[in-house]
Structure 1
Amino acid sequence: MKKSLLALTLGGLGIGITEFVMMGLLPDIAKDLSITIPQAGHLISAYALGVVIGAPLLVIVAGSYPPKKILMVLMAMFTVFNAFSAFAPDYGTMFAARLLAGLPHGAFFGVGSVVASKIAEKGKEAQAVSLMFAGLTIANVIGVPLGTYIGHHYSWRYTFVIIVAVGLITLLSLKVWMPAIAAVKDRDLRKELAFFKLPEAWLIIFMIAIGTGGLFSWYSYIAPLLTEVSGFSANSITYILVIAGLGMLVGNFIGGKLADRFSPAMASVTLLIAMAVTLFIVHYISENQVLSLIMTFVTGAIAFALASPIQMLMINTAKGSEMLAASVSQASFNIGNALGAFLGGLPLAAGYDYTSPVWVGSLMALIGAAFAWMLIARTKRVTAVAFSS
């Protein structure tokens, strides 16, 4: 692995820990700050809101600077705002810290994706992007369980201190290992924003926001699914999440290879259909513990195999505004996070059991696949018209 790609992987690791560890730390944070669990849950929403706001905004503001400088500034923001979280004295301060910590998330992955594709070997662009997203999956295998353990047995604040340490190491790695890439000359912001006028752009945005929402309909309620339906003990959930993380790690690299070998669009539609089928299977096997563990790995793998294809799809569609488009895909992914958790919770609120969210997830994945198929069909029509003229 190139050291420059390793620096991006480290950034993904830090971002992955701070995003996903909150699910395991909610009881500890709620107790320490004297708030309810639902109030603590708003801290997750605050981070997602920060991603949605910061992803396009920071890329628009910083797009004229060299990518290396942009990445270093974003990681500096990430480090400082997570330090605020570590020392937050009350709920209001913590909410603001989480919102601010989310701002650089999408922009880092957006700029990092473009940089990774530029420094990659010819024909291995998606695999290079997958190396950056490997940080997210490693976070779910190691960082999140470790951070949750530390938060439970010592203090959740120590977990954020570790996140700050990862941020500082990433910052140093970017400075030493990341090559200098020239800034975009004669940048035309109006032309970049014209990306949002493309029908293809909105098809991809809807595909990501709805399709990947299927993942979060399952993952948001995986703990009660495993304890109430599969019959696992509450203490075993941390270890089972490691299995899901291992699946994500494997799937991430498979997705990169699929996108390079075929096309990002075809890889996306295939994986979304596979996700719908997988979640359908989860509904029927959840009472069997062995099959539940197997499908936890498989579902995690298929879900995260989507990361590289959808990112490359955005980059390939947005010629001249690649960084903006790649950051928007991250904002869309976080919309999917919120949407999947909300819609997946509706049947639970209506009195259905803990297998019901996966039905919602399966339907969302199929709708996402439909948008991906519409994108493929439109691309073929546009190509045919251009060829005939």
Structure 2
Amino acid sequence: MVDTALTRTATSTSGCETADFAGFPAGNIALLQRGTCDFAVKAANAEAAGATAALIFNRGTTDNDTTLLGTLGEPGIGIPVLGLSYDAGVELAKAGTEVRVKTDTVSEVRKTYNVFAETSRGDAGRVVMAGAHLDSVPEGPGINDNGSGSGTILEVAEQLAKQKNLKKKVRFAWWGAEELGLLGAYDYVDGLVENNPEALKDIEAYLNFDMVGSPNFVRFVYDGDNSLGTGVEGPAGSAQLEDLFVNYFKSRKLASEPTAFDGRSDYGPFIENGVAAGGLFTGAEDIKTDEQARVYGGKAGVAYDECYHQACDDIDNINVQALDQMSDAVAHAVYTLSTSTASINSQAKAAKGAQRSAKSVKVTGEAHGHSKR
């Protein structure tokens, strides 16, 4: 057991530092808790300390019996690394427990793809992007995560193609390998940073739609100004993108609430490179509160999506009411931004003309899919 008191926490640093392994007996299996650093960091530190395997158990906050599904990002770790539920980790930590690990795995480099489409009309120097990830996890078909987001922006793209009054070019992106650590989105943005920084400056806003039809839904809007204090504040213009969605829902007499920019989806590389970002989300594995059930309906004490990353995330896992309301909000935001001659706000306009830091805001967190943390 490495630097963990087995408490229920989202902020464990278990295995994040080489010093955590001081006195670790080489040849043994390292038991670590999920927390604030990448799984790859924990695994590399365990391997360097002589561990023969690393077992990483869940936080125990809202996921006691949920097996951790993670990614190391890329090949390179030479020992088996397995994810466990919080309850399983606590059980293994009991004195006198003997563990043997045997795995049959494949570690290899595979090719994946991003798919792009953009409007023929609109100023190519003023781009609005809307994105959703195409991939799912191996455990299930991924109809909510993220067929809901991918299908939504496809329909918006088809309808927008009929419009003739676009002032800005709209670029739609369907990302590959989000579940493996936002790889598709990072490849695109990092490629612009390295090869075409002017094209990156041309992107006035990025809108992200990842899970917009959750069965036990809440209408979450990304927290551009970090009013929650649990994520990061988005670049200039992000607060205005949040307001765009919030005000739309208010106009329809629909409640909404903020959700943090915590690094769990494809907005991550855009925020890190100074692009204003926003978007919608209807909830994943976290639990709906009593207050949320009163406001939005559904069941308190139950996950927003009980089929998250499971085989039951099929066509029957979609809440049609949520998908209808959220897709209308997506269409409203994309159309509003694309037909306006104004920048998101004066700050965003100034940021567009200035040199953006390649890593202006560092987003940390875990992907909705096979997370890295």
| TM category, shorter | under 0.3
**Higher RCO (C-alpha 8 Å, min separation 6):** 1
After TM superposition, the score normalised by the length of structure 1 is 0.23
After TM superposition, the score normalised by the length of structure 2 is 0.24
**Which has the larger share of strand?**
2
Greater radius of gyration (CA): 2
**Which has the larger share of helix?**
1
